[in-house]
Structure 1
Amino acid sequence: MTPDQLLAPPAIKLPALRSAVTGLPAYVPGRRSAGADIAALASNESHYEPLPAATAAVAEAAGRMNRYPDMAAVELRERLARHLGVTAEEVAVGPGSVGVLQQIITGLCDARDEVVFAWRSFEAYPILVELAGARPVRIPLDDAEGHDLDAMAAAVTDRTKVILLCTPNNPTGVPISHGRLEAFLQSVRSDVLVVIDEAYVEYADAGSGHDSLALYRRYANVCILRTFSKAYGLAGLRVGYAITTAAIAEGLRRTALPFAVSALAQKAAIASLDAGEEMAARVSLVKQERGRMTAELEAQGWTLQASQGNFLWIRADEQLLARLVDAFDAAGIMARVYPGDGVRITVADTASNDRVLRLLSAHRPLPTS
C-alpha cells in the first residue's frame, strides 16, 4: 500500500434507493393551469366546482381537523353499501382509486408474481406493479383502441395474480361490453383477481358497457374499483373505493396507509352520494358536450373512437403529435400527450371545448388518397 493510500479517507457508502425504485418510470400528471387564459384539459378533472353539499360538509368537518379521521371509514362504507346494494364488509376505502389499487397489488402480489393489463391504459398500472416487486404484463390494445381480451386471457400464467381492466379505458375512452367481459371471466382461473377499474363509469352511456355489480355477484374473483375524483368532483380530496369479497376487502384495509383518507374527504364523499341527482345532471351536460365535439371533429376529418369517458382520444403518429403539441402550447390549451401514441383532451365547459375545436380545425389531418 502506498503512503497516499494510507492517508486517503475511507470510502463512504451512502443510503441508496432500491433498484426497483430507481428503475421506475415517473408518473406524469396532467400539467397544471398557470393563468386565467389557460384551458386545463390534461387531468380529466370535473370542470364544475364541488357540489354545494360537499363544500358544506367539508366546511362543517374542518372545525374538527385536529382529530384523526375514522381509519375504517365506517360511515362512508355503510353509505356506499346502501348505494350499491352490498354490505359494508365488502367495501374498502383508500386515497383515490389509485390508492386502493396499490392496496390490492400489495395485498395479493409477491415478488415476481404477474399483473396483466392492457396498454396503453392508466399510466399508474406498471408503476404500482413494479413497486411491489411484481411483473407488469402489458397487452397491446386492439385495432379499435379497446382491450384485446383474447390476448389478455392467453397471457395468464401460473404466476398471474391480478388482471386490470380499465373500462371505459383511460386514455382511449373505449368500454368493454357486458357479453365480452363475462366471456372473459368464464375463461380466467377463479383464483386470479379481476379488477374492473371504473374511474369514468358515470360518464358512460347506458348500455355501452357492462354491469359490474351483476358480474361481481356472479363471479367471486371480481373486484370493482371506483373513485370520487372524476364525476363527483373531489379530485383534490383523494377518496376511492373497492367492492370485493369480505375477505379481500379486509385484507385491503390491513394494507392501507393508516388514516390515509381524511375526515373531510369522507364527509364530502357521503354528501356527494346524497346529491346524486345533481351530479347526474352535471354528467349529462358533459356527455352532451362530448357528443357535440365528437360530431364536429369527425366532420373535420378526424378519426375518433366513441369515448365513454369525460375526454376524447386522438391517435397520432410522431409527426402529427409534434404539430399538435406545439399548437396546443401556443393556444394555451393543456392537453395530455402520450409520446408515440396520441393526445387525450378533457371535455370541459363549452368555451374551452370551442377553443379545442377551432385549434383542431386548423390542424386537421391531411386527406388520404
Structure 2
Amino acid sequence: MAMTSIDDSSAAPSGKTLEAFSEAAGIRPRDALGKLPRYAAGKPPLTVEGLESFKLSSNENPLPPLPAVLEAIAAETSINRYPDPMTTALRAELAAHLGVPATDIVTGAGSLGALNQILATFAGQNDFGAPDEVVYAWRSFEAYPISVGLAGAVGVQVPVRADGTHDLEAMAAAVTERTRVVMLCTPNNPTGPILTHDDVVGFLGQVPDDVVVVIDEAYQEFVRRPDAVNGLGLYRSHPNVIVLRTFSKAHGLAGLRVGYSVAQQSLTEHLRVSAVPFAVSQIAEHAAVTSLRHIGEVEARVQSIVDERTRVVAGLHELGWTVPEAEGNFVWLALGEHTQDFAAQAGEQALSVRAFGSEGVRVSIGEEAANTRFLELCAGYPHRP
C-alpha cells in the first residue's frame, strides 16, 4: 500500500492544533522535560540603520575556516554515502596531534554531543529506579542541566565563587554515594576563569575513583595562564578522568559539529556503545583533519583573538569595570539587575550579547570594530560591575 505524507497543519481534527490533539489523545512527554530549562541560543544582532551588525552572543570564532578547510569542504562529494562511523582519519590525526592513542578518542557531534554520550554511559537511573547525581559548578555551561536531566540523572549545582571560579572544596563536599559524574568547565563558560592544575589534582584526590570526572576544555586553545589545568596530563594518570574538546571555537567549525572526548580504554570501551552512529559527517571529518594539518595557521588566528581579548579587558579596566579573569574567547559582566537593560542597549548599537537572567552578560570577542563599539557602549553605561 502506498504511503502518503501528512501535513502537520491538517494532521489534527478541524479546530485543534496538533499540540492540543496530542494532549487530548493522552500523549505526554516524559516528566523530566517539564523540569528542564530551555536552551537559549545566542540571538542574531538587530539591524540598525547606519551601523554594521555584529553577533557577540554565541562565543563563535569571528573568522571563517582556513582557506584550505573551505577547499576541503567544497571538494567533498560523497554525501550520498554514510560517513566512517569510527571517524578513523580524524582520530588518527588527533592522536598524532595530542600524543595519545587513537583508541582513547571518541568523537561526537560537538563537545556537547560527546558529553551526552558520557552521560548516557555513566549517569542515569540505577537498578532501583533512583536517579544518579551529576555535580557541576553553576553558573556554567547552560546545556549541563538539560543534558543531565535528559539522561535521567539529577544535577547538583554548586555555586561559583564571586570571582566566577569553581568552588572545588564545595564541589568535593557535594559528592555522595549517588554521584556518578562530576563536570569541571575550564575556562568556565560564561564567567571566564580557568582551573589550575594543582587545584584539580587536589580535587581528584578527594573524589572516589569510581566517579567519572569530566574536564570540559572547549576553550582550551585560548588559555594563556601557565598554571592552567593540563587535562590530557590528568587523563593519563587518572583512569576516571575524561577530557572534552571541540573544533567549534578555535578552528571555527561550529556549524559542522565536531567534538571528541579523550579517556583511557577502560572508559572508551563503554563510551563507544553509547556513541551516536555517524554523528560526525564526512564533510566535518575532512574539515577537521585539514584544519589540524594547518595548525600553525589556526594558532595564529587564535592568538589574534587573544590579543583582542587582552585589549578588551584592558579597556574595561581603564573604564573602572571589574570583570573576572577572561581565559576563553569572551568576557563576563556581572551586571545583576541591570543585565537586561545592558543587553537592550547593546542591541540598539547593533550588537547582540548573551544575557543570563538577572545575573550578567557574556560578550564574545569578535571583530575589532565590534569590540571597539562594545567598549564605547561600556564607557557610557552608568551601572558598572
TM-score category, normalised to shorter length: over 0.9
Q: What TM-score, normalized by structure 1, do the two folds share? A: 0.93
SS in 2 for 1:172: coil
Equivalent in the alignment of 2:40: 28
**Partner-residue secondary structure (3-state), 1:254:** helix
The Cα of 1:222 is off from its aligned counterpart by 0.8
Structure 1 residue aligned with 2:353: 335
What amino acid is the match of 1:270? Answer: V
8 Å CA contact 1:300, 1:364 repeated in 2: no
Given candidates 54, 57, 75, the residue that maps to 2:69 is 54
- When residues 303 and 152 of structure 1 are mapped into structure 2, their CA distance, relative to the original with a 3 A threshold, is same
Give distance in 1, aligned partners of 2:197 and 2:382: 35
Q: 1:154 to 1:168 in 2, by over 3 A?
A: same
Q: Is the partner of 2:250 in helix, strand or coil? A: coil
Match of 2:363 in 1: 345
**Could you say what secondary structure the match of 1:83 adopts?**
helix
Please give the root-mean-square deviation of Cα atoms over the aligned residues, in Å: 1.5
**Pair 1:43-2:43 in alignment:** no
Residue type matched to 2:155 in 1? P
1:124-163 matches, cutoff 5 A: 124-163=143-182
Query: Which residue number in structure 1 is paired with residue 377 of structure 2?
Result: 359
Residue 90 of structure 2 is matched in structure 1 by 76
Asked whether the 8 Å contact 1:92–1:250 carries over to 2, the reply is: no
Change (3 A) 1:366 1:77: closer
In the alignment, structure 1 residue 237 sits paired with structure 2 residue 237: no
Q: Is residue 274 of structure 1 aligned with residue 284 of structure 2? A: no
Distance 2:250 2:296 in 1: 12
Instruction: Give the alignment of 1:77-226 within 5 angstroms.
Output: 77-111=91-125, 112-226=131-245
1:206 positional shift: 4.2
- C-alpha offsets along residues 185-206 of structure 1, whole Å, 9 cap, x if unaligned? 1111011110000000000004
TM-score between the two structures when normalised by the length of structure 2: 0.90
Q: Is the 8 A contact 1:116 1:162 kept in 2?
A: yes
Range 154-163 or range 356-365, more displaced: 356-365
TM-aligned CA deviation for residue 121 of structure 1: 0.1
Matched, 1:17 2:43: no
- The DSSP-based 3-state class of the residue aligned with 1:183 is helix
Match in the other structure for 2:5: none
Task: Tell me the CA shift for residue 332 of structure 1.
Answer: 1.2
Contact 2:46 2:350 in 1 (8 A): no
Aligned length: 355
Inter-partner Cα distance in structure 1 for 2:40 and 2:123: 24
Percentage of identical aligned residues: 44
Deviations 1:122-148 (CA, angstroms, capped at 9, x unpaired): 000010001111000000001221000
Q: Give the residue type in structure 2 aligned to 1:237.
A: L
Q: CA 1:353 to 1:181, structure 2 compared with 1: closer, same or farther past 3 Å?
A: same
- Counterpart Cα distance in 1 of 2:310 and 2:86: 40
Flag structure 2 segments of 5+ consecutive residues without an equivalent.
1-22, 126-130
Residue 321 of structure 2, aligned match among 299, 302, 306: 302
The amino acid that maps onto 1:104 is I
Instruction: Work out whether residues 46 and 351 of structure 2, in 8 Å CA contact, stay in contact via their aligned partners in 1.
Output: no
1:116-171 per-position Cα deviation (integer Å, ceiling 9, x unaligned): 00000000001000111100000000122100000000000001000000000000
C-alpha distance in structure 2 between counterparts of 1:251 and 1:47, whole Å: 36
- 1:358 counterpart SS class: helix
Instruction: Report deviation, 1:366.
Output: 6.0
> What does the per-residue CA deviation read over 1:305-353, in whole Å, with 9 as the maximum and x for residues that have no partner?
12000001000121x2233122112111100000121000000111110
